Structure 1
């Protein structure tokens, strides 16, 4: 004997219900991509001494124009350092193209501003660092120091093991190389993360820098540690993060083909 609930549903309603349940089962919360809108906050330590905090913010792009921001406020005794950095760039596939970079520093000692405007079509970069202006050749792939972090994460997502970036920094073009060391579980105050460990490639071992990046968080760095002559100098750890919700629907093309027998 059928229940009232079953008999009260028409064949059409059953079909709709079945399709909705099927679609619901195929809605998959996608892992965030490196360019998902996001905010990440970090604790900055000098050895075991807490210096302050830093925050990265990547809001939703305006069309294809992205704005990435970094803000930090650290201090030690009477010394202070406050920085506000902004990078504007566009995306072409998995390649990021810099547009403008602004870096303001205030605190103990001289304050300064650094700017770079990337004119790719004219093959030049106009820079100003402190009071010095210069024009650099733009004939290859270049980055600014902030958006290079996102390119790094995009390249990680592509499965690369070695990385090389030319960055416009302080009125010059500097070359940086990185390599994957391996996988490692990272346990810090904010949680336990499966990470990929990265090393900055240098000729000398007097200075060493390591990154731990979490694939499940769009390769967000969860820890950065810097050593000078074997002694830990800086230790930066993820405190909190937020990604705007994103969902991937895999059932759109299947819905029209779905049939339910009465």
Structure 2
């Protein structure tokens, strides 16, 4: 594992090569410990000019439980800042189904959000993100050479702060193949029982290669990259290491 100074220099070099706004689809296996629970994917689409849509879907099952989730975030790029406009989420499966949405409205000077039956209205300011758009901003920030990041995120109709830092580099062997990656840790604060790590693929425009979440030292969920396709440049289609 390299020092943060060396990593910062590496990220500055990556900024020349990586294009986190290149549309793609990334497919993942979802695991819990040694058990494969299902699958999921992320998909980034360019809608028009500087407008994009990032989507996520997962289908998992554990014993007699099932969970299907679909999320989308539409956003506009303003220089190097992600400016979300509309976020939607729906969940179905075992237990009650529910939906959530967030609307960012700078013209009206407000942010409206609903999660299940809880609603809130916040004064508009930026930067502010939804649970998907901050992930896009994270990739852009790492590509720009940043090693410590903080994001105000609207989640479950409440505003929270998500903090991340680059902690090193790893070579991963995944279903997709062997990848050189940048490793990040979510800073949840001292004493938290949860830990979250993610790895971004250096040679593949910093698409997420792996994510793992722990609680009290036990793995709660893990995503492993299985397939990656970039959709605008024919030379990058069905990309492989």
**TM-score tier after normalising by the smaller chain length:** 0.7 to 0.9
Equivalent position to 1:167, from 153, 169, 175: 153
Alignment of 1:215 onto 2:221: no
Q: Deviations over 1:95-151 (max 9, x none)?
A: 110100000011111111101110123321011111222211222310011111111
Alignment of 1:121 onto 2:107: yes
Alignment of 1:234 onto 2:236: no
Alignment of 1:93 onto 2:79: yes
- Cα deviation for residue 31 of structure 1 reads 5.2
- Check whether the contact 1:32–1:243 (CA below 8 A) recurs between aligned residues: no
Once the two structures are superposed, the pairs formed by residues 140-179 of structure 1 within 5 Å of their partners are 140-179=126-165
- Cα deviation for residue 67 of structure 1 reads 1.4
- Cα deviation for residue 205 of structure 1 reads 4.9
Equivalent position to 1:69, from 55, 65, 68: 55
- RMSD over aligned CA atoms reads 1.7
Q: Give the aligned length.
A: 219
Q: Which runs of 5+ in 1 are unaligned?
A: 1-29, 248-262
Between Structure 1 and Structure 2, the one with more strand by share is 2
The runs of 4+ residues in structure 1 deviating greater than 6 Å are none
Q: Which runs of 5+ in 2 are unaligned?
A: 1-15, 235-241
Q: Deviations over 1:52-77 (max 9, x none)?
A: 00111112322222111111111112
Alignment of 1:197 onto 2:172: no
> Structure 1's 214 and 106: CA in aligned 2 closer, same or farther, altered over 3 A?
same
- Equivalent residue for 1:244? 231
Q: Deviations over 1:162-190 (max 9, x none)?
A: 01001111111111101111111111222
TM-score for the superposition, normalised by structure 1:
0.79
- Check whether the contact 1:157–1:215 (CA below 8 A) recurs between aligned residues: no
Counterparts of 2:91 and 2:108, CA distance in 1: 29
SS in structure 2 at match of 1:144: coil
> Structure 1's 112 and 227: CA in aligned 2 closer, same or farther, altered over 3 A?
same
